[in-house]
Amino acid sequence: MPPGSFAPTKAVAVAVGPAIALLALLAGAGLISGAAACTVVAVLIGCALVARQGLDRRNKPLTTPAPVPPETAPQPLLDHLPDPVILVNRGREITAVNRMARETVGVGEVGRDLALTMRHPRVLAAVEAVLTGASTVSEEISLAVPTPRTFTLHAARLEGAGTHGQTAAAAVLVLRDETRAKRAEQTRADFVANASHELRSPLSALIGFIETLLGPASDDAHARERFLGLMRAEAMRMARLVDDLMSLSRVEINEHVPPKDAVAVGAILQSVADTLSVRAEDKGMTIALDIEANLPFVLGDGDQLTQVFHNLVDNAVKYARSGTVVRLAATRSERATGSGQAVSVAVIDSGEGIAAIHLPRLTERFYRADAGRSRRLGGTGLGLAIVKHIVNRHRGTLSIESKRGVGSTFTVVLPAAPSVSSTSQ
């Protein structure tokens, strides 16, 4: 073995050593997870070994590289970390930033006072605290630019820093992006508040009727009959709400598991039309089916697809004008994303239409364009949210077009099952 062959290994140790030391410090302070630390160490050692092999192959005379100053050595390590990381010296000047810090919080210029790029008072207070004695500080901060985000800031003093003078990194700041978690938390809180509110109103009405029946109307047979009818309607409203909430949670649980059965959409549309025809007739309406011959099967869950078209046709019957026709048109089409066949089903009504401002939010839970009308007609505000989740599970798309005074078209496109042609439709 030539005498110089250990030199690259030594160089690797010199270059990677400070990086690993900082990594151990970050992991020890709880600023990054052990798994992340191991990944970065593996990446660094891997890169270093590849470099060593390259040098071995060329068999060039090797010289020992100059030692790498600790404040520049961690850069490859920092750039592999998934969170924004900023290092500052005792004078609060930035000594290093990683790629995530540049991309997400826009902190980039090494050598500048941190306060010139991050003016957030909590960030500056945390830095001040660790530079003047505190070992770690954690704070929740919200940044408005470049996009509104919520972070948990972890600031830690780098023990033993300062051996390289004023320029050495004296504190490390790690920002963990909590925006998504915060949003999910808010959505959950809003959902519980909305569901409770929706259940509370029929419940209050029921309690009111019961008290009236027990008190002033106890001997009034006519009032009793009327109140019992109203109580039944309120109880049924609660039952519908609970059914829809349970459907929604069932759909959400298996949304990531794509369905595997080959399903004939035509047969489903026929059964939905049969089920809802009585209600349509009550409004002097008809449901017309227009199903293209030899449609391909779709990959689907029959019960869930029945629920999708039941909810859409139910809305069309509920919100369209009396005496009009609800049209169900099923045609062969192309997949909206990627290549391949699909089946497109349009539910077309001649109703009042929906103002454009409501369209983007229509599939949100409990969102209604006209809340009073929806409640009067027995709506829960969950029908389209259920439709959206089922269509997502089927890797399909839902699009809504509506024109005030003309009507609405809800179109569902579902990917076809591979190479099986439906003959029964």
Ligand X SMILES: Nc1ncnc2c1ncn2[C@@H]1O[C@H](COP(=O)(O)OP(=O)(O)O)[C@@H](O)[C@H]1O
User: Rule CB under 5 A: which residues touch Mg ion?
Assistant: 315, 383
Q: How far is the CB of 201 from Mg ion (least distance, A)?
A: 18
Binding mask 84-113 for ligand X (x = CB under 6 A): ------------------------------
CA dihedral of 254, 260, 266, 267, whole degrees rounded to 10: -80
DSSP for residue 351: B
Q: How far is the CB of 273 from ligand X (least distance, A)?
A: 15
Q: Does 304 bind ligand X (CB under 6 A)?
A: no
Please, which residue, 346 or 414, has the CB nearer to ligand X? 346
Q: Does 83 bind ligand X (CB under 6 A)?
A: no
Residue 316 binds which one of ligand X, Mg ion, none, with CB within 5 to 8 A depending on kind? Answer: ligand X
Pick from 69, 54, 71: nearest CA to 8: 54
DSSP for residue 379: -
Provide DSSP, 215-268: TTTTT-HHHHHHHHHHHHHHHHHHHHHHHHHHHHHHHHHTTTS---EEE-HHHH
259 contacts 301 by C-beta, under 8 angstroms: yes
296 contacts 332 by C-beta, under 8 angstroms: yes
Residue 408 binds which one of Mg ion, ligand X, none, with CB within 5 to 8 A depending on kind? Answer: ligand X
Residue 77 binds which one of ligand X, Mg ion, none, with CB within 5 to 8 A depending on kind? Answer: none
| Tokens of residue 50, six digits | 């590849």
Q: Does 362 bind ligand X (CB under 6 A)?
A: yes
Q: How far is the CB of 314 from Mg ion (least distance, A)?
A: 6
Selected from 383, 398, 413, 414, the binder of ligand X by CB under 6 A is 383
Pick from 125, 121, 135: nearest CA to 171: 135
Please, which residue, 90 or 375, has the CB nearer to ligand X? 375
Please, which residue, 227 or 367, has the CB nearer to ligand X? 367
Binding mask 330-359 for ligand X (x = CB under 6 A): -------------------x-x--x-----
- 325-334 and 286-291 strand pairing: parallel
Residue 399 and residue 333: Cα distance in Å, rounded?
14
Q: Does 202 bind ligand X (CB under 6 A)?
A: no
Residue 370 binds which one of ligand X, Mg ion, none, with CB within 5 to 8 A depending on kind? Answer: ligand X
391 contacts 412 by C-beta, under 8 angstroms: yes
Selected from 98, 307, 408, 425, the binder of ligand X by CB under 6 A is 408
Beta strands in 301-406 (DSSP E): 325-334, 341-349, 397-403
Q: Does 324 bind ligand X (CB under 6 A)?
A: no
Q: Does 309 bind ligand X (CB under 6 A)?
A: no
Residue 347 and residue 341: Cα distance in Å, rounded?
20
413 contacts 333 by C-beta, under 8 angstroms: yes
Please, which residue, 171 or 317, has the CB nearer to ligand X? 317
141-144 contacts at long range (C-beta below 8 A, 24 or more positions apart) = 141/175, 143/105
Residue range at the interface with ligand X (CB under 6 A); choices 165-173, 197-205, 262-270, 309-317: 309-317
Per CB under 6 A, residues contacting ligand X are 311, 315-316, 319, 349, 351, 354, 362, 368-370, 374, 379-385, 408
